[in-house]
């Protein structure tokens, strides 16, 4: 249940532009796609094994490294803000299976004393998850962690087996959310580009980047 920072300079550069209030809808969406791609490459570099294989070039036979497990990746798209983020991830994992889950905070109910939101789940369509799979649950924002906990409950209780690896990937996260998800799902590795300062009384990440769903879709 460790939290890892994605420290690639381009990830930080892209996140900076996503935070900027002047960034337009088109640039915001493209930025999320780009960040998803970088995060995908970082997951491959940091967490996936390679193996040596022989290859025939047009001139001779030689050896090279191949990433293991690229055929056994499942990416879960937490609607709706994760859609452009997942589009980027798919550039790093082109053969991934995809799951879709629509989960949203009930903003009217507000945050309870525990700092949690009630979560409404409307639509769930998940591929088969086996013990061979690397599962990446992507959502650009991890605030209170309420959404992610509800999503992981669904994903894990419907999985055929426990996956080899379970990654929770966010662009910006709050300490509260990381703690909540880490506590409830110790088997998950939490990956994020930034651990921000705190949550405000409405459960928004500060400094954050605003509402990623609204900024990408409206």
Q: What is the CA radius of gyration of the chain?
A: 18
120 phi and psi, to 5 degrees? -100, 125
- Contact pick of 72, 203, 209, 215 for ligand PRP (by CB under 6 A): 203
Residue window 57-96: x/- pattern of binding to ligand PRP, with contact defined by CB under 6 A: ---------------------x-xx---------------
- Applying CB under 6 A, which of residues 41, 85, 93, 117 lies at the interface with ligand PRP? 117
Which is it for the CA torsion 33, 48, 94, 81, positive or negative? Answer: negative
Rounded least distance, CB 60 to ligand PRP, Å = 50
Closest CA to 158 of 189, 135, 178, 181: 135
Instruction: From residue 44, give the alpha-carbon distance in Å to each of 31, 89, 96.
Output: 20, 11, 13
Closest contact distance (angstroms) between CB of 96 and ligand PRP is 20
Position of minimal CB gap to ligand PRP:
213
Q: Strand 73-79 and strand 134-138: pairing?
A: parallel
Strand, coil or helix: what is 214? helix
- Select 42 or 139, whichever has its Cβ closest to ligand PRP: 139
For residue 197, the minimal CB distance to ligand PRP (Å) is 15
Site residues (CB under 6 A) for ligand PRP? 78, 80-81, 104-105, 117, 139, 141-148, 177, 203, 211-213
């Amino acid at each position: 249940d460790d939290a890892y920072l994605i420290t690639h300079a381009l990830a930080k550069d892209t996140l900076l532009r996503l935070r900027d209030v002047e960034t337009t809808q088109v640039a915001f969406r493209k930025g999320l796609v780009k960040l998803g791609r970088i995060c995908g490459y970082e997951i491959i570099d940091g967490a996936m094994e390679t193996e040596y294989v022989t290859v025939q070039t047009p001139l001779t036979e030689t050896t090279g490294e191949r990433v293991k497990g690229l055929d056994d990746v499942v990416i879960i798209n937490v609607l709706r803000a994760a859609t452009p983020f997942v589009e980027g991830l798919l550039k790093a994992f082109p053969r991934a299976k995809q799951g879709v889950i629509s989960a949203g905070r009930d903003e009217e109910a507000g945050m309870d004393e525990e700092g949690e939101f009630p979560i409404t789940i409307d639509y769930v369509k998940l591929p088969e998850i086996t013990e061979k799979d690397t599962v990446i649950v992507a959502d650009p924002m991890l605030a209170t962690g309420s959404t992610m906990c509800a999503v992981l409950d669904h994903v894990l209780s419907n999985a055929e087996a426990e996956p080899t690896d379970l990654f929770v990937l966010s662009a910006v996260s709050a300490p509260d959310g990381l703690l909540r998800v880490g506590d409830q799902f110790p088997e998950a590795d939490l990956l994020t580009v930034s651990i921000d300062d705190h949550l405000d009384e409405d459960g928004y990440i500060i400094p954050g980047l605003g509402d990623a769903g609204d900024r990408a879709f409206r």
